[in-house]
Amino acid sequence: MVGTGSEHHVLYQYNLNKARNHYMGLIQTETPYFQPIPVAPTPFTINSKYGDPDLSTTPSAWALWVKQSQNITVFGAGLYSFFYNYQQNCIATRTCQKHIVNIDSASTIRIYSLSTVGTTYMLSVNQKGIIDQTNNQNGFAQTATFWSPTVS
């Protein structure tokens, strides 16, 4: 995938479930403006058949959810959360949503140039935040240059 965008879906923008050998270059997302009221997955339900994400740690959609996937490369990602219930005062405090990317510990992935807006944790492993935006200020966005499970 090169130069793709996915926006405003209730559960996730990208879901890699048991994927193999994928390259995602210059991806861009925006989470739904109305969330977290109502909280995700409303009005839908989680379906494990499709590897839908666990939304217990975030009331908003995941930008990128990676589960049991191998040899994944993300090269350039702009993952944005601009609203909290249609309000934008959360951007300045980066609290529009707590988590935006989740990688499970069974996956192998390399992420180069991850930029987020409005999120507290830029990246989570097993839904536990590991890259806090406060250490990665880069103008309007927050940017992490590189991450992989072996270098955290």
Strands 62-67 and 5-7: unpaired
Residue 79 included in any domain: yes
* pLDDT tens, position by position, 61-92: 999 999 999 999 999 999 999 999 999 999 99
User: Is the pTM above the cut of 0.85?
Assistant: yes
**Interior CA angle at 5 toward 99 and 19, to 5°?**
70
141-152 average pLDDT score: 89
pLDDT at position 152 over 60: no
The amino acid at residue 9 is H
Tell which wins on pLDDT, 57 or 15.
15
Query: Cα–Cα distance between 25 and 5 in angstroms, integer?
Result: 10
Residue 27 included in any domain: yes
* pLDDT tens, position by position, 106-136: 999 999 999 999 999 999 999 999 999 999 9
The residue segments making up the domain with residue 113 are 5-45+59-147
Sequence-ordered list of residues with C-beta below 8 angstroms from that of 98, at least 6 positions apart, any chain = 57, 58, 119, 120, 121, 129
Count of structural domains within the chain: 1
